[in-house]
Amino acid sequence: MYRFQNDYNEVAHPAVLKAITDTAGHRHDGYGTDTLCGDAAALIKQRIGQPQADIHFFNGGTITNLTAISHFLRPHQAVLSVSTGHIATHETGAIEATGHKVITVFSPDGKLTPEHLKPVIAEHNDEHWVQPKLVYITNSTEIGTVYRKAELQALRRFCDEHGLWLYLDGARLASGLMSAQSDLTIEDIAALTDAFYIGGTKIGAIAAEALVINNPALKDDFRFSIKQKGALQAKGWLLGAQFLALFTDDLYFSLGKHLNSMAGQLAAFFTEQGFTFLAPPESNQVFVILPSALAEKLKKQFVFHETLLQEPGKSCLRLCTSWATTQHDIDDFKKTFLSLI
């Protein structure tokens, strides 16, 4: 039974595993002060074109978000996000638990624009409200869409005009960047955001994310916040080793291209069969809308994540491809699907 429910259900890419096992027999400094973390940080800075950036390694996305956002904000300040944003849905209120409100707006394609933000800024206009301060976006988004360069540039201009931080959650950044619909580069993202993180867990790492802080105003005392939030890993070299592997010979980007290619085949197949999608399939997440009876048959053969759909007789299944998805996996799914309709 093949599992399409997420992109982190295999242990790690062989290059990542080798990088970790190669550390056996060597002794390293702790808490991310080792040479592996230093070398990985240098490699990332070079690749993103930001030699002055600060790089911090974490072992998961939620802990990265809550540590970064709570550090960047003062007690009375709040976050702006789409209603489908990860911090507003699948992080158990982690940001609110640090004392910061998450203000959400609805966006059918899962992307924020200045038009979404203008009424929120206008309404929160004095000390009787929380003060909106940080704009939170994801790329690719939680529903599989991706930002274009012009969209990110527009957000940057809006944030500059209103004194806001722009923070990008890159849990699926490899997929977002390598989308056929994307004209963004990782250098663009580094230049246009105040901070962002490069997701590794969903693209072949065991568990590793790299937070990039570009804005000098956000850098001070950040390691104190990492420690206070329980995120300063004693064996930090294990995180550095994983990113060394992912950023050697652009493996990170080639894996992103692969999983998008696999998802693209699924999207094209569903389109050929006459089915529609919750959102345009632009990355490695395909949200297909199917008759509920057919969806139930498929769920006996494969594992999916199901998205609630307010439409009687219809179901929305998310098919998520990974760095490990093979052509055989795709072909087998198509064959099984055709046998059930």
The model's pLDDT over 29-48, given as tens digits with 9 standing for 90+, comes to 999 999 999 999 999 999 99
Helix H or strand E segment including 268: helix 251-272
* pLDDT at residue 125 tops 80: yes
pLDDT, tens digit, for every residue of 49-66? 999 999 999 999 999 999
Sequence-ordered list of residues with C-beta below 8 angstroms from that of 101, at least 6 positions apart, any chain: 78, 79, 130
Q: How far apart are CA 301 and CA 168, in angstroms?
A: 36
pLDDT the model gives residue 50: 98
Tell me if 213 sits within 8 A of 52, measured CB to CB.
no
* pLDDT at residue 20 tops 80: yes
Q: What is the mean pLDDT of residues 285-295?
A: 97
- The count of C-alpha atoms lying within 13 angstroms of the C-alpha of 333, restricted to the half-sphere facing its C-beta, is 24
pLDDT the model gives residue 311: 87
pLDDT the model gives residue 308: 83
Which among 263, 340, 259 has a CA at the least distance from the CA of 295? 340
Confidence of residue 239 (pLDDT cuts 50, 70, 90): very high
pLDDT the model gives residue 309: 84
* pLDDT at residue 83 tops 90: yes
* pLDDT at residue 134 tops 90: yes
Which among 219, 76, 97, 193 has a CA at the least distance from the CA of 139? 193
Tell me if 157 sits within 8 A of 117, measured CB to CB.
no
The label of the residue with tokens 């030699």 reads: 51
SS3 at position 236: coil
pLDDT, tens digit, for every residue of 297-313? 999 999 999 998 888 99
Q: Which amino acid is at 57?
A: F
Instruction: Please state, rounded to an integer, the average pLDDT across all residues of the chain.
Output: 97
Tokens of 224: 């104190």
Confidence of residue 206 (pLDDT cuts 50, 70, 90): very high
Supply the DSSP symbol for 248: S
* Complete domains list, the chain, with CATH: 14-246 (3.40.640.10), 254-340 (3.90.1150.10)
For β-strands 314-320 and 54-58, DSSP reports them as unpaired
Confidence of residue 1 (pLDDT cuts 50, 70, 90): confident
* pLDDT at residue 15 tops 90: yes
pLDDT the model gives residue 155: 98
CB atoms within 10 A of CB 184: 21
